Structure 1
């Protein structure tokens, strides 16, 4: 935990200063493009985090592991926040770039569905009198919802959308200048590290909350 905390803070501080203050101004968008240093990492983690959510749900559903259900809940909370950040920063970026806060674009709409999937998992876990029933229903929704992830990723290729295609590419030349790409990659790594740190802390808190009546928790607090 201490090393992960230092790594997270280091990557986020260096990446944000590099991207928000030191990276060059875009020739067409001016300084408004700098919101990508928050928007893109949040979008990446909202997608990757859903696979963490579904994987934990599958483990809880198949092997009945309580910790997996707690991880699923923690991943749902963090994923919902990151998806909201992605949608909000996208709207802020869209106003000066596209001239509107919101359009029912394929990429944006599928991201909104992802946000509701995260909220649905949280709602189902609390909707049943018996905890096991809630966890089972939430896990099924999490697994079914994975269909939406490739739709989000490929939406700009499958349909005509206002949202631009990916700028960072691994199979061909990227369409973003290295002076802007390197701080973006550092922010992406920082967000991944932040996600891991948040998931550990939130799951630990969830374990203590659910087991608060257990003797080992009382002894730990004492």
Structure 2
């Protein structure tokens, strides 16, 4: 067997995944804090004010990475969900369900920062704009997955039902992505392009890149931490979990 394939196969073992997540989650968090801290410093103190929006434009350094993550996390959740449904891999069920609260948090940040940014630009906190409305529906999809997962006592059955809902919701992602193209939208069009020339001034891009990368590491750390906790909950009666509990340092008896 190919070493990489064998490693992924071994990672599907609950004890192996527990050790992997325990080791790498702190590193992901640490890198995320460094990258995002450097990006925020650059966004606040190194980038000049926008010639039209002034300093209010700086909220895009939080808004844009969160918006991209809200879509990316949902797509990854759906991939994990599809693998879990087809191949019945328990770890993928756990990872899919761990994605939902993180993606919901990014979506809430996206909607909140968008409203704060929109107030001085549009003169209103909210408008039923295609981009804003579809992003709000995405939040409801995340909440639906979370709610369905916790509504069923059997963890495996709950994960399968929630995974099916997650897969159905994928149809919303291209609607969000191309809403400003397909409909007349109050939301501004695409100004930042991964491939091709961006209409944003090049001097404003480096902090955004640091924050985009930093949010990826924050997501990775959060995903590993949440999946590790759910993995321990599901495996609570197994011998390897009991051995972990026995090796854990005692906190002493309450007085």
- Is 1:85 the counterpart of 2:85? The answer is no
CA distance in 2, matches of 1:206, 1:137: 17
Runs (4+) off by over 4 Å: none
Residue number among 218, 221, 241 corresponding to 1:194 in the alignment: 218
CA-atom RMSD, angstroms?
1.3
Which residue does the alignment assign to 2:161?
137
Which residue does the alignment assign to 1:10?
34
Work out which of the two has the higher radius of gyration on C-alpha atoms and give 1 or 2.
2
Which residue does the alignment assign to 1:23?
47
Question: Does the Cα contact within 8 Å between 1:58 and 1:143 map onto a contact in 2?
Answer: yes
1:171, CA displacement in angstroms? 4.5
Which residue does the alignment assign to 2:90?
66
Deviates more, 1:19-28 or 1:147-156: 19-28
> Unmatched 5+ residue regions in structure 2?
1-23, 247-255
Q: When the two structures are superposed, what TM-score results if normalisation uses the length of structure 2? A: 0.83
Which residue does the alignment assign to 1:95?
119
- Is 1:122 the counterpart of 2:146? The answer is yes
Could you report, residue by residue, the CA deviation over 1:134-154 in whole angstroms, capped at 9, with x for unpaired residues? Answer: 222211111110010011000
- Is 1:180 the counterpart of 2:204? The answer is yes
1:125, CA displacement in angstroms? 1.1
State how many pairs are aligned. Answer: 222
Question: Does the Cα contact within 8 Å between 1:50 and 1:75 map onto a contact in 2?
Answer: yes
CA distance in 2, matches of 1:37, 1:64: 39
CA distance in 1, matches of 2:45, 2:38: 10
Deviates more, 1:162-171 or 1:52-61: 162-171
> Unmatched 5+ residue regions in structure 1?
none
Which residue does the alignment assign to 1:205?
229
Q: When the two structures are superposed, what TM-score results if normalisation uses the length of structure 1? A: 0.95
